[in-house]
């Protein structure tokens, strides 16, 4: 918090061990986090075909730098897992999240609770019933399942399902200001930026991140002018049409 100089969120990958999630929630709340974003779109793992192909040609031995004998050994050097008992787990992801899990998280923390990874309107309706504070329509950037539904396609029905009872954010595949305009027209409260800022960070560090965000702002403003919207609140469904 002190380094950021502003409120921050924590992204929670809830494991199959409640004590781990509780420790993370308690630590984040104590540190002053404003919200916890619970990732729910990675329950089944993923098939990283490109990674597996490249591993055959990479002769480096990861064991020379990383102890991967157990999950505890892999993560124990990361500050966020300091003092957290990961014994008995073979993955930091949860394969058994339910709506009761979300309610348990809701009852455990005073932070805002955001669910990230919903694509079905039925889940959006359940999120409202569970008392969460917002949802993020996300397919994890298609990194979990590349044959799944696009978020821009799911967005309208998700907005309808929550009925204005909570904010609906969206991510996955938003690369240009025109993409952001489309999402805002379709009812999104905001658009989350994933890979673009990482690309900027990897190439040029902090200036790269700042430049990526600047480009998105400039493109957003230009796209708004093109559709005749003088303010974000004037971005309405009538301004977009399905191809």
Catalytic residue among 138, 140, 174, 182: 140
Give the 3-state secondary structure of residue 30: helix
Tell me the β-bridge partners of 232: none
| SS3 annotation, 104-129 | HHHHHCCCEEEEEEECCHHHHHHHHH
Helix (H, G, I), strand (E, B) or coil at 11: strand
**How deeply is 70 buried, as exposed, middle or buried, from its count of CB atoms within 10 A (0-12, 13-18, 19+)?**
middle
- Does residue 135 contact residue 127 with C-beta atoms inside 8 Å? yes
Specify burial of residue 22 (Cβ count, 10 A radius: 0-12, 13-18, 19+). middle
In the residue annotation, 66 being an active-site residue is answered as no
Contacts of 69 (CB under 8 A, 6+ apart): none
Q: Which residue numbers are catalytic? A: 140
């Amino acid at each position: 918090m002190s380094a950021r100089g502003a409120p921050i969120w924590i992204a929670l990958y809830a494991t199959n061990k409640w004590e781990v999630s509780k420790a993370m929630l308690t630590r984040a709340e104590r540190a002053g986090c404003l919200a916890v974003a619970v990732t729910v779109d990675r329950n089944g793992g993923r098939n990283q075909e490109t990674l597996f192909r490249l591993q055959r040609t990479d002769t480096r031995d990861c064991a020379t730098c990383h102890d991967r004998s157990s999950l505890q050994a892999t993560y124990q050097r990361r500050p966020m897992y300091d003092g957290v008992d990961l014994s008995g787990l073979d993955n930091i992801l949860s394969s058994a999240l339910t709506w009761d899990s979300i309610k348990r998280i809701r009852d455990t923390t005073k932070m805002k609770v955001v669910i990230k990874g919903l694509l079905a309107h039925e889940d959006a309706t359940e999120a409202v019933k569970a008392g969460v504070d917002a949802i993020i329509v996300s397919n994890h950037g298609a990194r979990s399942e590349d044959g799944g539904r696009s978020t821009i396609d799911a967005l309208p029905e998700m907005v309808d399902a929550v009925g204005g009872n909570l904010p609906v954010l969206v991510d996955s595949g938003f690369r240009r200001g025109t993409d952001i305009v489309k999402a805002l027209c379709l009812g999104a409260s905001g658009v989350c930026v994933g890979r673009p800022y990482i690309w900027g960070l990897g190439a040029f560090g902090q200036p790269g991140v700042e430049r990526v965000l600047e480009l998105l702002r400039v493109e957003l403003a230009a796209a708004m002018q093109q559709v005749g919207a003088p303010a974000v609140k004037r971005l309405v469904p009538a301004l977009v049409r399905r191809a």
